[in-house]
Amino acid sequence: MKATRILTLTSVFFLAVASLSAQDTVTMNLKECMRYAVEHSTKVRIQEADNRDAQIDRRDAILSAFTPQVSGSTYAYSNFGRSIDPETNTYIRTTSFHNGYSLSAGMYLFNGFQAVNNLKITKTAQLMGLTQAQQLEDQICLATMEVYCNVLYYNELEKALQNQVATAEKAVQRAERQEQLGQKSHADVVQMQADLADRHYQLTTCRNNLANAFITLKDVMFWPIEVPLKIDESFSQLPQCDSPTNETAVGLSHRGSRMDESEEISQLLSFAKTNTPSILLAEGRMKNARLSLKTARWQLLPTLALYGGWSSSYFTYPGREDYVPTPFMDQIKNNGGEYIQLSLSIPIFDRLSSHSNIAKKKNVYERAQAEYEQTLQTVEAEVRRAVADRDGTADALLQAEARASLQQEAYTLNAKQFEQGLISSIEYQTASNNYLNALAEQLNARLQYFIKNSVVTYYGGTPYLLQ
């Protein structure tokens, strides 16, 4: 899966949003929240810094493999005591001044393919950094999606509870009038008032949970906590799932409306094992461990290096009035010398440090192999679990929708019977609770199916932001 960094003008736009007042806050949908979370995540910024380090390592490996190391030096000193005259090669006791220059270069012609392997290692590390950035973005998108759905859930539940409170208030008012007319007992009125208190308590709890869900969403998005955040509360902005929603489909198997399950899983696994970031990272670590092991083994061979250089010097006797020094450029030319050196280094005995290094690199490679195999197993289990969860939540959604429809009808009938005095307040409260629970479970099942279906789609090759 290619790591694509999403760069849009929304980041600049949402920075301006932070300065707006609550009534001017722009409404954000799910994709905008995910995009904002990715663009402002500190984890992504840290990974981008790591990627820049990997890019620098790649550049250094290229330069180390194909260019020599060049250095230059110079010196200047005065001698006030006994010294050797460079011209006559005899001792003198005259103050002298010496100035020298040198330039040298060297590079390995053969060092056990270390430079070549470093090139491959840094290239893999650079690709792994991009893959890890993509993995972080996917994780942030999924976390944002889950918290966003929590906000939608509590928001819809709050609306349902508000309707329940309004209905309970009307029922209490009706029961109080009926008590005055002698049609209801005081116990029935108290029971209705207790039901109203329960609804108020549930509404308060739901509002607290909604506020906490908003705080969690801001935290995941790295949105300023003190700045208001408004989201699109409609379900139409969520990608539409292909789950049947009518009552006649309750008895149908969700799996029957899809391709054969084993064929679907086979296709998902085929793609996931070659494109899932966690597998690509484990494979990259295994490749680099293998290259490091090869490099360690080649270090038992001799190394061959080529060096070359040039040096020259200048001197004079400032303490001798009768001395006429040779001009600076003439001395630099006359005293100049060049050299070329071919160096062969043969390892004989290094107290077994090379063999110890090979053994450690071998252990690292074996661990990387085991981690890669474990990651393959984990991803396969995740894919199969994702498909099973999606199918299970789809079946649960069908049942929840059918149950909510039936509970709504039962609640409507019980409300009419309660108004006519045919059932007790306890029976009416039970029907009301059943209907509210059915609505909550239907909403939860719908959001859970959306999340599980998005995970399966992700394993099929579509990033969360493109769904």
Domain CATH for 127: 1.20.1600.10
Cα maximum dimension of the chain: 139
Residue 424 has what pLDDT?
80
Residue 240 has what pLDDT?
53
Asked if residue 102 belongs to a domain, the reply is: no
Extract the residue ranges of the chain whose pLDDT is less than 50.
1-23, 243-258
Asked if residue 123 belongs to a domain, the reply is: yes
438, two tokens: 């059915």
**CB 164 within 8 Å of CB 223:** no
Asked if residue 158 belongs to a domain, the reply is: yes
- 301 DSSP assignment: S
Structural domain range at position 391: 28-69+113-303+352-466
Instruction: Please tell me the distance from the alpha carbon of residue 114 to that of residue 107, in angstroms, as a whole number.
Output: 13
Instruction: Please tell me the distance from the alpha carbon of residue 462 to that of residue 467, in angstroms, as a whole number.
Output: 6
Residue 396 has what pLDDT?
94
Local structure of 313: helix, strand or coil: strand
**CB 39 within 8 Å of CB 64:** no
Residue 4 has what pLDDT?
41
The neighbouring-strand residues paired with 94 are: none
Asked if residue 145 belongs to a domain, the reply is: yes
CA dist list (Å): 153 to 182, 253, 440: 42, 26, 8
**CB 191 within 8 Å of CB 168:** no
Asked if residue 87 belongs to a domain, the reply is: no
Residue 64 has what pLDDT?
92
Encoded amino acid at 78, one letter: S
Residue 15 has what pLDDT?
45
Asked if residue 445 belongs to a domain, the reply is: yes
Encoded amino acid at 20, one letter: L
Encoded amino acid at 295, one letter: T
Q: What is the CA radius of gyration of the chain?
A: 39
Local structure of 423: helix, strand or coil: coil
Asked if residue 461 belongs to a domain, the reply is: yes
Number of structural domains in the chain = 1
**CB 352 within 8 Å of CB 245:** no
Asked if residue 336 belongs to a domain, the reply is: no
